[in-house]
């Protein structure tokens, strides 16, 4: 069963829309390198399209009605948007879900130390990374520092042309004989992924203790104090994420691809958001759910396992039709969902890891996976054939290029998403998403055609699924 290369199906109008989508997507990737930055951006865009904070309705005791658009944010890291349709909510919603956290390196809570007159930040990586890929790259520092009085200082260093960047060093090849005999998973060890932060000692300062005088660490602390009014102790209540510095770029001589940090899973999050904001009047309520912590198992208050989404749906039921636990359950059970996350694009240089007929390909459109998991579908959500039949019809109505795929060979590996968690409500849910090459690497690769097809697919889903 051959699937067409989406590029061969486009007319001039398609190509123009594809280019616009790619440009706005790259802008999103460049501006949003953390969950918090994503939420700020998404809230901004949503407000422009008439979405209001659900708190205004809850606190003001204002009822919701068809045509209303609301969003709910959890701890600045997770968001759910709702566009209330004309049908009763308990008929179910059309939900687009994706995650906005990406693999990265986090700064520890007691991170700053000096060694050989160099200052470092100690780190603990977040999500699955090949550690050796993260050395000798220009890195940026993003996040927040929260003071005891509740003031939040936003940090972003390394993205502007005038900013300094940071780096994690690696041993020179000339002395690497022993290092290169190691297995790749230990060639650079987690505890050695420390960020080089400074190298210049502080100028003589009589107010300092004898042991702080002339130290590089003292100078770093002075700079942090001057720029961020930050004390060393403030690292305890900081969330600082180390990510590759630099913009999302066109890739390839034909500019057909996008190279950027954080495309897992911001490619699905962004295209879901675009579709959500574009679909105006709906009969079936639509929802866009963008979550945190997928890369570490969907845990915590801002991960998909949290009750946040369910609680928000309960609030919406209450504001629409009055409190009803049963209606909350019916709403969730009768919903249909595209749980979107990236798939592994077939890479001919690593053909061994894939089974060609069940791999996803760059340029062949939105990817559906009936099931995820590996070695006997373990841990998978296995979407219903009846639901898939309907989806095929919906995708055809939207003239969407799409493909079905598994992530890698049966016994090699695999990955899970948030689909299985949503399936617990008894709703129809399938894994979908965009094919990515070099997934979880500092710079990940997608095809512009797939980004465009994902957007088209999500629009079709919100419009035609019922």
Rounded to a whole number of angstroms, the minimum distance from the CB of residue 103 to Mn ion is 6
- Residues 21 to 80 in contact with Mn ion, rule: CB under 5 A: none
- 232's CB contacts (< 8 A; 6+ apart) are 112, 221, 224
Rounded to a whole number of angstroms, the minimum distance from the CB of residue 251 to Mn ion is 20
Q: Which part of the chain contacts Mn ion (CB under 5 A), choosing from 25-33, 256-264, 324-332, 365-373?
A: 256-264
Q: Which part of the chain contacts Mn ion (CB under 5 A), choosing from 257-265, 318-326, 330-338, 402-410?
A: 257-265
Instruction: Indicate the residue among 264 and 431 with the shorter CB distance to Mn ion.
Output: 264
Instruction: Indicate the residue among 101 and 114 with the shorter CB distance to Mn ion.
Output: 101
String marking each residue 285-324 x if it binds Mn ion according to CB under 5 A: ----------------------------------------
- Residues 401 to 460 in contact with Mn ion, rule: CB under 5 A: none
Cα 433 to Cα 402: distance, rounded to the nearest angstrom: 10
- Residues 332 to 371 in contact with Mn ion, rule: CB under 5 A: 341
Give how many residues touch Mn ion by CB under 5 A.
3
Instruction: Indicate the residue among 194 and 241 with the shorter CB distance to Mn ion.
Output: 241
Rounded to a whole number of angstroms, the minimum distance from the CB of residue 129 to Mn ion is 10
Rounded to a whole number of angstroms, the minimum distance from the CB of residue 294 to Mn ion is 6
Rounded to a whole number of angstroms, the minimum distance from the CB of residue 460 to Mn ion is 22
**Out of 264, 292, 406, 431, which residue is the one contacting Mn ion (CB under 5 A)?**
264
Rounded to a whole number of angstroms, the minimum distance from the CB of residue 102 to Mn ion is 7
Instruction: Indicate the residue among 265 and 450 with the shorter CB distance to Mn ion.
Output: 265
Binding of Mn ion by 265 (CB under 5 A): yes
Q: Which part of the chain contacts Mn ion (CB under 5 A), choosing from 17-25, 44-52, 142-150, 259-267?
A: 259-267
Instruction: Indicate the residue among 194 and 444 with the shorter CB distance to Mn ion.
Output: 444
Closest CA to 457 of 96, 8, 41: 96
Rounded to a whole number of angstroms, the minimum distance from the CB of residue 188 to Mn ion is 20
Instruction: Indicate the residue among 194 and 431 with the shorter CB distance to Mn ion.
Output: 431
Instruction: Indicate the residue among 418 and 460 with the shorter CB distance to Mn ion.
Output: 418
According to the 3-state scheme, what is the secondary structure of the chain?
Answer: CCCCCHHHHCCHHHHHHHHHHHHHHHHHHHHCCCHHHHHHHHHHHHHHCCCEEHHHHHHHCCCCCCCCEEEEEECCCEEEEEECCCCCHHHCCEEEEEECCCCEEEEEEEEEEEECCEEEEEEEEECCCCHHHHCCCCEEEEEEEECCCCCEEEEEECCCCCCCCEECCCCCHHHCCCHHHCCHHHHCCHHHCCEEEECCCCCCCCCCCCCCCCCHHHHHHHHHHHHHCCCHHHHHHEEEEEEECCCCEEECCCCCEEEECCHHHHHHHHHHHHHHHHCCCCCCCEEEEEECCHHHCCCCCCCCCCCHHHHHHHHHHHHHHCCCHHHHHHHHHCCEEEEECCEEECCHHHHHHCCHHHCECCCCCEEEECCCCECCCECCCCCCHHHHHHHHHHHHHCCCCEEECCCCCCCCCCCCCCHHHHHCCCCEEEEEECEEECCCCCCEEEEHHHHHHHHHHHHHHHHHCC
Instruction: Indicate the residue among 265 and 453 with the shorter CB distance to Mn ion.
Output: 265
Rounded to a whole number of angstroms, the minimum distance from the CB of residue 354 to Mn ion is 17
String marking each residue 162-191 x if it binds Mn ion according to CB under 5 A: ------------------------------
Rounded to a whole number of angstroms, the minimum distance from the CB of residue 39 to Mn ion is 17
Rounded to a whole number of angstroms, the minimum distance from the CB of residue 98 to Mn ion is 8
Q: Which residues bind Mn ion (CB under 5 A)?
A: 264-265, 341
């Amino acid at each position: 069963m051959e699937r067409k290369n989406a590029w061969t199906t486009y007319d001039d109008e398609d190509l123009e829309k594809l280019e616009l989508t790619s440009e706005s997507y790259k802008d999103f990737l460049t501006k949003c390198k953390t969950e918090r930055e994503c939420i700020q951006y998404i809230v901004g865009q949503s407000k422009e399209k008439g979405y209001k904070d659900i708190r205004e309705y809850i606190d003001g005791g204002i009822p919701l009605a068809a045509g209303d658009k609301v969003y709910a944010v959890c701890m600045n890291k997770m968001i759910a948007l709702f566009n209330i349709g004309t049908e009763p909510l308990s008929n179910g919603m059309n939900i687009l879900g994706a995650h906005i956290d990406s693999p990265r390196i986090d700064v520890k809570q007691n991170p700053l130390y000096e060694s050989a007159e160099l200052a470092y930040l100690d780190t603990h990586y977040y999500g699955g990374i090949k550690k050796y890929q993260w050395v000798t790259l220009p890195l940026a520092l993003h996040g927040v520092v929260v003071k005891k009085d509740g003031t939040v200082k936003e940090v972003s260093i390394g993205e502007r042309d005038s900013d300094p960047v940071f780096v994690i060093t690696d041993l020179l090849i000339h002395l690497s004989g022993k290092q290169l005999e190691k297995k790749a998973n230990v060639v650079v060890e987690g505890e050695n992924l420390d960020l080089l932060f400074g190298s210049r000692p502080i100028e003589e300062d009589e107010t300092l203790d004898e042991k702080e005088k002339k130290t590089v660490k003292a100078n770093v602390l002075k700079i942090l104090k001057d720029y961020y009014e930050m004390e060393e102790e403030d690292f305890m209540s900081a969330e600082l994420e180390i990510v590759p510095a630099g913009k999302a770029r066109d890739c390839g001589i034909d500019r057909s691809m996008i190279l950027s940090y954080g495309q897992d899973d911001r490619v699905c999050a962004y295209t879901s958001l675009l579709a959500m904001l574009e679909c105006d009047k709906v009969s079936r309520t639509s929802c866009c759910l963008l979550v945190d912590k997928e890369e570490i198992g969907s845990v915590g208050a801002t991960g998909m396992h949290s009750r946040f989404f369910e609680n928000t749906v309960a609030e919406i039921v209450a504001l629409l039709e009055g409190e009803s636990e049963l209606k909350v359950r019916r709403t969730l059970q009768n919903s249909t969902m595209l749980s979107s996350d990236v798939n592994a694009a077939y890479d001919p240089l690593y053909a061994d890891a894939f089974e060609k007929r069940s791999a996803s390909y760059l340029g062949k459109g939105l990817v559906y996976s009936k099931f995820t998991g590996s070695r006997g579908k373990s841990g998978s959500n296995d979407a219903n054939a009846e639901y898939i039949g309907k989806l095929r019809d919906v995708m055809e109505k939207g003239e969407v290029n799409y493909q079905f795929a598994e992530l890698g060979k049966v016994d090699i590996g695999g990955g899970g998403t948030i689909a299985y968690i949503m399936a617990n409500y008894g709703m129809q849910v399938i894994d979908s998403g965009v094919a990515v090459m070099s997934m979880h690497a500092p710079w990940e690769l997608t095809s512009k055609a797939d980004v465009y097809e994902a957007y088209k697919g999500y629009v079709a889903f919100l419009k035609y699924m019922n």
